[in-house]
A and B are shown apart, each in its own frame.
Chain A
Amino acid sequence: MTGDSGTALAYLLVAVCFIVALKGLSSPRTARVGNAVGAAGAVLAVVVILLVERPDRLLAVLAAMVVGGAVGAVAARRVVMTAMPQMVAVFNGVGGAAGATIAALEMVEGTPDTGRLAVAAFTVLIGAVAFSGSMVAFARLQELMSGRPLIYPGARWVFGLALAATVAAGVWLPWGGPTWLVGALVGLSLGLGVLFVLPVGGADVPIVISLLNAFSGITVAASGYVLENTLLIVAGTLVGASGTLLTRLMAKAMGRPVTNILFGAFAGGSTLGGGAETDRPVRSASAEDVAILLGYARKVIMAPGYGLAVAQAQHALRDLAGELERRGIEVSYAIHPVAGRMPGHMNVLLAEADVPYDKLKEMDSVNPEFKTADVALVVGANDVVNPAARSAPGSPIYGMPILAADEAKSIVFLKRSLRPGFAGIENELLHDPKTTLLFGDAKDSLGKLVTSVKSL
């Protein structure tokens, strides 16, 4: 079915293009060219398949491609950068659905042997889970449904039973199961994906997206096995590896095992806290006071969190950094891996605000620098600078690697209120004698700081 050796060679070339695309991402300098090479490879693959397969349904296939491509292009052009996690979730989902459809149709109409049937059943399962799971994640992130973990009585049992039924259907199929079982497998797998993502809440959704990314890759690789198509196997495996690595990195950045994040809610151990305000004393200051602190510093490190993006204050932060640099102050940005809503999200949000990428420093390289910084400016972040992660073994965030903002000579928090962050834990750093709070909307506060620094 792979056709002649010409097709096989073309596929090899396309696979190399994809590897070059991923290799390009090792530096922002080469990334864009790499992506273009990957896209060129994809175009080549599509041209080859249209020529080789000579589908008698060429027109219908082309029409479907045009419709899908147009939808994808418009979505890619319109999406705002804060909504990137939802976008990736949807793309994951449709990719998984396509792979599952291939396998389901091959099971119903093709004549695969037992081994291939088994892989096809697996493809349907994982592809359908990727699809329905991604749709739930999308609804969560788009705030079409609550971000809180959805726990109902007996959730553990419902999920366990659904999993058992799905696996049973998947195992029965290759061993002479009736054709209607394919439909049952699709339905069960779709349900399983929903049940899988529902109990995962708020801050943990990015991990689920990374994992569903891996699932969609594995779906493609498995459907490649079903069709005996090496290109699909290579491409899908690359994506599977990428999703798996990112999932592990994110879990590490949160200081929790992946299983705890995914199934923690089943055990009743959700990390989403209540979020009551504290009444302990803090030191707050006016924008003018903070401006003096910043304007006469030598070195300032910005620690942005997702609150910055919620307030749409990325450009205001960049303006403040620019103003400080004009005064000869060294400014850099400390990026925690979970600062955004997906791996690396904060970098994209700041890059969009024209922050040069060589100023974006990852946690491990920036942490030793806090000691020599005069001011750590924390904007819209809380848990990622909470020393409780280092010192309070009972805390839900204990073990999470954090930005060492507490080591700076002084710390400034731009905060709306004293409400704790996502994890719902009090932040000792807010009450530190070195800490100053500037209350207000991040965008307003940064605007005031820019004006005040200018007039120093």
Chain B
Amino acid sequence: MDGVALLTVFVLAAFVGYEVISKVSSTLHTPLMSGSNAISGIVLVGTVIIASVAESAVAVTLALVAVALASVNLVGGFLVTDRMLQMFRRRS
């Protein structure tokens, strides 16, 4: 994919992100931060790609460490967000 196509994706995503996030309830700003943080854990996909093409032993090791770190972010992020969101209840 060429640079311009990637740039297009980036710019459009920035607009969508701004629109969606400016509508987030301020009550939920902490879950927004942990939830968006979980989404950035999808960098796991990138670490798996790099782990499969790495050549030297050092590079493979580093890539596997990155896989583990991204997994912490992805799994922990979604779970902790869910834990917080289940506490928000309406008047009973």
A residues at B contact (CB < 8 Å) = 1-2, 14-15, 18-19, 21-23, 25-29, 31-32, 35-36, 38-39, 42, 45-46, 49-50, 53-57, 60-61, 64-69, 71-73, 75-77, 79, 81, 84, 87-88, 91-92, 94-95, 97-99, 101-102, 104-106, 108-110, 115, 209-210, 213, 216-217, 219-221, 223-225, 227-243, 245-246, 249, 335, 337, 340, 342-345, 347-348, 351-352, 354, 356-360, 362
A73: chain B residues at CB < 8 Å are 75-76, 79
User: What 1/0 flags go to B6-46 for Cβ under 8 Å of A?
Assistant: 10011001101110111111111111111111111111111
B residues at A contact (CB < 8 Å) = 1, 3, 6, 9-10, 13-14, 16-18, 20-56, 59-60, 62-92
Chain B minimum-CB-distance residue to A36: B82
Residue of B10, B42, B77 touching A72 (CB-CB under 8 A) = B77
Is the beta-carbon distance between A55 and B48 smaller than 8 angstroms? yes
Residue of B1, B10, B32, B52 touching A246 (CB-CB under 8 A) = B32
Is the beta-carbon distance between B39 and A102 smaller than 8 angstroms? no
Is the beta-carbon distance between B41 and A45 smaller than 8 angstroms? no
B6: chain A residues at CB < 8 Å are 224-225, 228, 230, 233
B92: chain A residues at CB < 8 Å are 356
Residue of B24, B28, B37, B54 touching A95 (CB-CB under 8 A) = B37
Residue of B37, B50, B71, B73 touching A67 (CB-CB under 8 A) = B71
Is the beta-carbon distance between A348 and B30 smaller than 8 angstroms? yes
Determine how close the nearest CB of chain B comes to the CB of A376; give it in whole angstroms.
20
Determine how close the nearest CB of chain B comes to the CB of A90; give it in whole angstroms.
8
Is the beta-carbon distance between B72 and A68 smaller than 8 angstroms? yes
Is the beta-carbon distance between B32 and A22 smaller than 8 angstroms? yes
Cα A242 to Cα B33 in complex, Å, equals: 7
Determine how close the nearest CB of chain B comes to the CB of A271; give it in whole angstroms.
22
B82: chain A residues at CB < 8 Å are 32, 35-36, 39
Cα A101 to Cα B46 in complex, Å, equals: 10
B50: chain A residues at CB < 8 Å are 101-102, 105-106, 227
B74: chain A residues at CB < 8 Å are 42, 46, 69, 72
Determine how close the nearest CB of chain A comes to the CB of B2; give it in whole angstroms.
9
Determine how close the nearest CB of chain B comes to the CB of A152; give it in whole angstroms.
31
Chain B minimum-CB-distance residue to A234: B13
Given A32-B86, A240-B14; 10 other pairs, CB 8 A cutoff: A26-B24, A64-B71, A67-B68, A84-B30, A84-B34, A95-B70, A104-B62, A109-B56, A220-B42, A348-B31
Is the beta-carbon distance between B47 and A347 smaller than 8 angstroms? no
Determine how close the nearest CB of chain A comes to the CB of B12; give it in whole angstroms.
9
Determine how close the nearest CB of chain B comes to the CB of A455; give it in whole angstroms.
26
B42: chain A residues at CB < 8 Å are 14, 18, 42, 45, 220, 231-232, 235
Cα A343 to Cα B31 in complex, Å, equals: 9
Most chain A CB atoms below 10 A, which of B14, B25, B46: B46
Cα A116 to Cα B90 in complex, Å, equals: 49
A76: chain B residues at CB < 8 Å are 75-77, 79-80, 83
Determine how close the nearest CB of chain B comes to the CB of A127; give it in whole angstroms.
9
